[in-house]
Structure 1
Amino acid sequence: MTKQLQIRRVLLLVALLCVALAGLGYRLVDLQVLRHAELQAKAQEYTVKQILRAPRRGDIVDSRGNVLATSMFVKTVCANPSLLGNHQALVARTIAPILKLNEAEVFQKLQPKITLNPTNGLPTTNRYVRLKEKVAPETWLQVSNAMSQLKFAVDDSGLTKSQKDAQQSFYRDLRKAGVFTELMDDQLRVYQNRTLAAHVIGFVGKNLNNTNNLPGDEAIGRAGIEQTMEEKLAGTVGWRVTGVDNKRREVVAQRTQDVEPRDGFNVVLTIDSVLQHILETELAKGMEKHSPISITGVIVRPRTGEVLAMATLPVFDPNNVGKITDAHRNRVISERMEPGSTFKIVAVSGALNEGVVKLNDVIDCGQGQFSYAGRVLHDAHGGHGPLTVENVVAKSSNIGAAKIGIRLTETRLYDYMKRFGFGDETGIPLPYEQAGTVARVDKWSKVSIAQIPMGHGVDVTRLQMVMAMAAVANGGWLMKPMLVSKLEDRNGQIIAQYQPQRIRQAISENTARQLTVALKSAVSTNGTAEKASLEGYTVAGKTGTAQKIEHGTYSTTKFISSFIGFFPADNPELCISVVLDEPKGQYYGGLTAAPVFHEVAERAANYLNIKPDEKPSIAVNSSGGTINLPDARTTRLVAQRTTSNP
Structure 2
Amino acid sequence: MARRDTDEPEDRGRNRRSGIGDARAFTPRGRTTRDGGTGDGADAAADPQADAELQRRRAELRMVRGGRAEEGRPPQRLGRVTGAPANRRPRRAQEDPDLGDGDFDVEPPPRRRTAPAGRGRPDREFIGRTQAARAREPRRADRPAAGRSRPQDRRQRPAAPPPDPPKMGEPRRRLRLATALALLLFAAIGVRLVQFQLADAPAFAAQGLEDRLDKITLPAPRGSIFDSTGAVLAKSVEARFVAVDPELVEEPKATAGLLAPLLGKAPSEIEPLLQKGKQEVSGKPVRFRWLLRGLNVDDANMVRALKLKGIIVDRDERRDLPGHDLAANLIGFTGTDLNGLAGVEARYDQVLRGRNGQLRYETGNGDLNKPIPGGFRQEIKAQPGSSLMLTIDRDVQFQAQHILFEGMKKVKAVWGAAVVLDTSTGEVVAQASYPTFDAANHSAAKPEELADNATSVVVDPGSVHKAIVLSAALQEGVIEPDSTVKIGPSIKKGNQVYWDTHQFAEGTKITLPGLMAFSSNVATIKVAEKLGAEKLYEYQKLFGLGQPTGIGVPGESSGQLQPPENWSGTSYGSIPIGHEMAVTPLQMAAAYAAIANDGVWVQPHLIKKTIAPDGKVTLPAPVKSHRVISAENAAALREIMEAVTTVDQATGRSAALPGYRISGKTGTGSQVLNGKYVKGEVGSFIGMAPAENPRYVVAVFVKTPGVGAGGKVAGPAFRDIMAFTLRHFKVLPSTIASPKFVTTY
Q: Name the TM-score class by shorter chain.
A: 0.7 to 0.9
Structure 2 counterpart of 1:190: 320
Instruction: Please list the CA deviations of residues 388-430 of structure 1 after superposition, one character each: whole Å capped at 9, or x if unmatched.
Output: 1222122111111111111111111111001101111111111
Relative to structure 1, the CA distance from residue 135 to residue 533 in structure 2 (aligned partners, 3 Å threshold; closer, same or farther) is same
Q: CA, structure 1 residues 288+49, in 2 after alignment: closer, same or farther (shift >3 Å)?
A: same
Matched residues in 2 for 1:339 and 1:373: separation? 21
Q: 2:459 aligns with which of 330, 333, 337?
A: 337
Larger Rg over CA atoms: 2
Answering whether residue 266 of structure 2 is matched by residue 144 of structure 1, we say no
Correspondence for 2:714: 593
Q: Out of 416, 433, 453, which is 1:312 matched to?
A: 433
Q: Does 1:242 align with 2:406?
A: no
1:100 to 264, 274, 280: 264
TM-score by length of 1: 0.76
Of 574, 590, 595, the match for 1:472? 595
CA distance in 2, matches of 1:306, 1:587: 30
Q: Is the 8 A contact 1:482 1:500 kept in 2?
A: no
* Distance in 2 separating the partners of 1:616 and 1:521: 12
Of 229, 236, 239, 1:64 maps to 229
Q: How far does residue 273 in structure 1 lie from its aligned partner after superposition?
A: 0.8
249 and 108 in structure 1: CA distance in 2 versus 1, 3 angstrom threshold? farther
Give the 3-state SS of the residue equivalent to 1:64 in structure 2.
Answer: coil
CA distance in 1, matches of 2:272, 2:202: 43
Separation of aligned partners in 1, 2:564 and 2:218: 57
Measured at CA, do residues 103 and 402 of structure 1 come closer, stay the same or move farther in structure 2, by a change above 3 Å?
closer
1:77-100 CA deviation, whole Å, 9 max, x = no partner?
24567777x677765554443333
Change (3 A) 1:500 1:475: farther
Provide the secondary structure at the position in 1 that maps to 2:646.
coil
Cα distance, 1:449–1:48 mapped onto 2, change above 3 Å: same
Residues 283 and 402 of structure 1: CA distance in aligned 2, closer, same or farther (over 3 Å): same
In 2: Cα distance, 1:567 partner to 1:453 partner: 25
Q: Closer, same or farther in 2 for the Cα pair 1:583/1:614, shift >3 Å?
A: farther
Classify 1:552/1:273 alpha carbon distance in 2 versus 1 (closer, same or farther; 3 Å): closer
1:166-211 Cα shifts (integer Å, max 9, x gaps): xxxxxxxxx8x864424xx2221121111110111011125xxxxx
Q: Report the more deviating stretch, 521-530 or 42-51.
A: 42-51
Q: 1:249, 1:601 → 2: CA distance?
A: 65
Determine if contact 1:561/1:583 at 8 Å carries over to the other structure.
Answer: no
Distance, in Å, in 1 between the alignment partners of 2:275 and 2:624 is: 65
Partner of 1:437: 560
How far does residue 102 in structure 1 lie from its aligned partner after superposition?
Answer: 4.3
Query: Partner amino acid for 2:225?
Result: I
Pick closer, same or farther for the CA change 1:125–1:205 going to 2, 3 Å.
Answer: closer
Q: Is contact 2:681–2:706 with CA below 8 Å preserved after alignment?
A: no
Cα separation, partners in 2 of 1:139 and 1:397, compared to 1, 3 Å: same
Residues 549/460 of structure 1: CA separation in 2 closer, same or farther (3 Å cut): closer
SS at match of 1:392: helix
Q: Distance in 2 between matches of 1:198 and 1:138?
A: 27
In structure 2, the CA distance between the partners of 1:106 and 1:230, relative to structure 1 (3 Å rule), is closer
Q: 1:452 to 1:35 in 2, by over 3 A?
A: same
Is the 1:76–1:132 contact (alpha carbons within 8 Å) kept by the matching residues of 2? yes
Change (3 A) 1:440 1:70: same
Q: 1:81 to 1:205 in 2, by over 3 A?
A: closer
Q: Does the 8 A contact of 1:406 with 1:450 survive in 2?
A: no
> Map of 1:148-227 to 2, 5 A cutoff?
179-182=311-314, 185-206=315-336, 218-227=337-346
Structure 2 distance, partners of 1:554, 1:83, is: 59
Q: How many residues matched?
A: 543
Q: 1:84-123 counterparts in 2 under 5 A? A: 94-103=258-267
SS at match of 1:463: helix
Q: Give the 3-state SS of the residue equivalent to 1:544 in structure 2.
A: strand
TM-score under structure 2 normalisation?
0.67
| Shift, 1:44, TM fit | 4.6
Q: Hey, what's the Cα distance between the residues in 2 that align with 1:228 and 1:553?
A: 29
- Counterpart residue number, 1:303: 424
SS across alignment from 1:439: coil
Alpha carbons 2:494, 2:569 under 8 Å: kept: yes
Quickly say closer, same or farther: Cα 1:438–1:82, change in 2 above 3 A.
closer
Look up the match of 1:210.
none
Structure 1 residues 390 and 130 mapped into 2: Cα distance closer, same or farther (>3 Å)?
Answer: closer
| SS of the residue 2:441 aligns to | coil
How far off is 1:222 after superposition? Answer: 1.0
SS where residue 339 of structure 2 aligns? strand
Deviation at 1:74, TM superposition (A): 1.8
How far residue 242 of structure 1 moved from its aligned partner, in angstroms, is 2.6
Q: CA deviation at 1:268?
A: 0.4
Q: In the alignment, which of 591, 605, 609 is matched to residue 730 of structure 2?
A: 609
Percent identical among aligned pairs is: 29
Q: Is the 8 A contact 2:549 2:603 kept in 1?
A: yes
Tell me: CA distance 1:98–1:205, structure 2 relative to 1, closer, same or farther (3 Å).
closer
Q: In structure 1, what is the equivalent of residue 347 of structure 2?
A: 228
Unaligned runs of 5+ in 2: 1-181, 739-745
Note if contact 2:458-2:673 (Cα within 8 Å) is conserved in structure 1. no
* SS of residue matched to 2:392: coil
Q: Which has the higher contact order (CA 8 A, sep 6+)?
A: 1
Check whether the contact 2:231–2:394 (CA below 8 A) recurs between aligned residues.
yes
Give the aligned residue type for 1:338.
D
Instruction: Report 1:351-362 matches (<5 A).
Output: 351-362=473-484
Pairwise CA distance, 1:232 = 0.7
Aligned amino acid, residue 227 of structure 2:
D
**Secondary structure, aligned partner of 2:548:** coil
CA contact 2:652–2:715 (8 Å) conserved in 1: yes
User: How much has 1:315 moved relative to structure 2?
Assistant: 0.6
Deviations 1:6-40 (A, max 9, x none): xxxxxxxxxxxx9xxx9xx89x9699599989976
Deviation at 1:114, TM superposition (A): 11
CA spacing shift, 1:349–1:104, aligned 2, 3 Å:
closer
| Aligned partner of 1:377 among 498, 503, 506 | 498
1:644 alignment counterpart: none
Q: Secondary structure at the match of 1:501?
A: coil
Query: Equivalent residue of 1:470, what SS?
Result: helix
The alpha-carbon deviation at position 238 of structure 1 amounts to: 2.2
Is 2:576 aligned against 1:453? yes
Q: 1:395 aligns with which of 518, 525, 532?
A: 518
CA distance in 1 between partners of 2:465 and 2:215 (Å): 61
- CA 1:576 to 1:46, structure 2 compared with 1: closer, same or farther past 3 Å? same
Query: Which of 686, 691, 702 is equivalent to 1:569?
Result: 691
- 1:544 corresponding residue in structure 2: 667
Matched residue SS, 2:659: coil
Structure 1 equivalent of residue 534 of structure 2: 411
Per-residue CA deviations over 1:38-59 (Å, capped at 9, x if unaligned) read: 9768645531244443210011
Return the letter of the residue paired with 1:600.
I
Residue in structure 2 matched with residue 75 of structure 1 by the alignment: 240
How far apart, in 2, do the equivalents of 1:389 and 1:96 lie?
69
The aligned residue for residue 321 of structure 1 is 442
Report if aligned partners of 1:540, 1:567 keep a CA contact under 8 Å in 2.
Answer: yes
Question: Structure 1, residues 483-519: CA drift from partner, whole Å, max 9, x if none?
Answer: 110111345x243123763421011101101110111
